[in-house]
């Protein structure tokens, strides 16, 4: 029996060759496709016959590797849920969750020629060997948002920049934000209330406010 493991960007392909005789014969082979967390994606079974069975088997395994590596990385599921709650709290109603927020499609990164207007969600898709994305920047400037700040922002663990300036957001900054790793944040022009939020002093990574 021969066996091997090939790790791709999004999958692990485990190959087992069973019951092979010499090169002039044939063999039975199975390939197991796993995800990066070890989840079983199923077995691919085949029978390869003829003098070049090992070449054919190599071609099949390469084909699976190409398919795996070509998969488009997507935003972490928990962060998609967080964005939905954030949108509901802020009153951001035009985010289209029918497409992946990190795909560059839909209205997740809209340019506006008017000065001071911006609506963008920027991701870093280099995680887990380019197979997973995380939100690193959110800019919703002059979007006429009249809601409140969601505790769910704290679930965007890789968020570095948050700009919500020139809206009419009310309320205060949630205590859950103390765990965030923000580097830049702006609430200029909103209607937040209360004393200076002590929670911001717990964000040790913060450089610009």
Q: Is the pLDDT of residue 42 over 70?
A: no
CA distances from 155 to 1, 60, 97, 202 (A): 46, 40, 18, 16
Closest CA to 150 of 74, 76, 81, 75: 81
With contact defined as beta carbons under 8 Å apart, do 166 and 191 qualify? no
Angle at 104 (CA atoms; ends 131, 95), nearest 5 degrees? 110
pLDDT for 56 equals 52
pLDDT for 52 equals 53
User: pLDDT tens across 79-111, in order?
Assistant: 999 999 999 999 999 999 999 999 988 889 987
Average pLDDT over residues 162-172: 96
Please give the residue that has the higher pLDDT: either 193 or 54. Answer: 193
Instruction: Give the C-alpha separation, 48 to 20, whole Å.
Output: 10
Collect all residues with Cβ–Cβ distance below 8 Å to 183 and sequence separation of at least 6: 160, 161, 205, 206, 207, 208
User: pLDDT tens across 187-199, in order?
Assistant: 999 999 887 788 8
């Amino acid at each position: 029996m021969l066996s091997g493991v090939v790790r791709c960007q999004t999958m692990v392909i485990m190959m087992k060759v069973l019951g092979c005789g010499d090169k002039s014969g044939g063999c039975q082979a199975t390939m197991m496709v796993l995800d990066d967390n070890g989840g079983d994606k199923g077995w691919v079974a085949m029978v390869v016959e003829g003098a070049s069975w090992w070449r054919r088997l190599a071609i099949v395994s390469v084909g699976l590797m190409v398919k795996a590596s070509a998969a488009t990385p997507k935003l972490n599921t928990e962060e998609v849920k967080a964005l939905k709650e954030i949108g509901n709290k802020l009153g951001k109603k035009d985010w289209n969750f029918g497409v992946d927020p990190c795909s560059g499609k839909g209205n997740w990164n809209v340019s506006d020629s008017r000065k001071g207007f911006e609506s963008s969600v920027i991701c870093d898709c280099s995680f887990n060997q380019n197979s997973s994305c995380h939100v690193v920047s959110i800019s919703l400037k002059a979007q006429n948002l009249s809601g409140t700040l969601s505790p769910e922002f704290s679930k965007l663990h890789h968020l570095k920049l948050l700009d919500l300036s020139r809206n009419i957001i009310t309320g205060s900054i949630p205590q859950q934000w103390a765990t965030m790793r923000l580097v830049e944040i702006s609430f200029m022009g909103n209607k937040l209330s209360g004393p200076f939020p002590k929670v911001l002093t717990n964000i040790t990574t913060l450089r610009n406010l």
